[in-house]
Amino acid sequence: MEKILVSACLLGKRVRYDGGAKMLSSEILSQWQAEGRVVLVCPEVDAGLPIPRPPAEIIAGDGGDVLAGSARIVDRSGENLTEAFLQGASLALQLCQRHDIKVAVLTEHSPSCGSTTIYDGSFSGVKRPGAGVTAASLRQHGVRVFSQHEIVEAQRVIQTL
């Protein structure tokens, strides 16, 4: 049975930068949990960042640019957190490889997990198209990445595997 990588905050784990969760109420997710298919991840916490922590955003690009070395991730005070985010992405990829995971459902807008939109780096709440560093890394390695708003699509893909 296929395992699915899921952002821990979507399952109520209080791992977000502000110490909160982003609980996703979904029959599909509940079914995956009951079947023992969910592998939890929080790349930022897994890399050793604290809870709570200042918000962080990608500067001058998106997750693919961070992976390529042409963009960085900083917190609101300007501290460069790029290495921690890269480490978190690497740990998430290792989880996928260890469990032969081909599908991930990650939290939208995050500099780690955003799959279609992220914050623009201005710390003003403005979003722009792009992926976080973990989402970009997983995609580069063949994992299909969906946001929590695309869980039905993720389920469709899983059913074809």
At 21-31, the pLDDT tens digits run 999 999 999 99
Average pLDDT over residues 50-74: 98
pLDDT at position 119 over 90: yes
Q: Is the pLDDT of residue 1 over 90?
A: no
Q: Facing residues of 6 across strands?
A: 40, 105
What tokens appear for 42 in the block?
A: 């929080």
Its pTM stands at: 0.97
Q: What is the pLDDT, as a whole number, of residue 147?
A: 98
Q: Encode 89-104: b = buried (16+ Cβ within 10 Å), e = exposed.
A: bebbbebbeeeebbbb
Task: Count Cα neighbours of 157 within 13 Å in the Cβ-side half-sphere.
Answer: 16
Confidence band (pLDDT; 50, 70, 90) for 17?
very high
Please give the Cα distance from 70 to 54 (Å, whole number): 23
The band of 66, judged by pLDDT with boundaries at 50, 70 and 90, is very high
pLDDT at 75 over 90: yes
In whole angstroms, what separates CA 149 from the centre of its chain? 13
- Total residue length of the chain: 161
- Please report, for the chain, the start and end positions of each structural domain, with discontinuous segments joined by +: 4-160
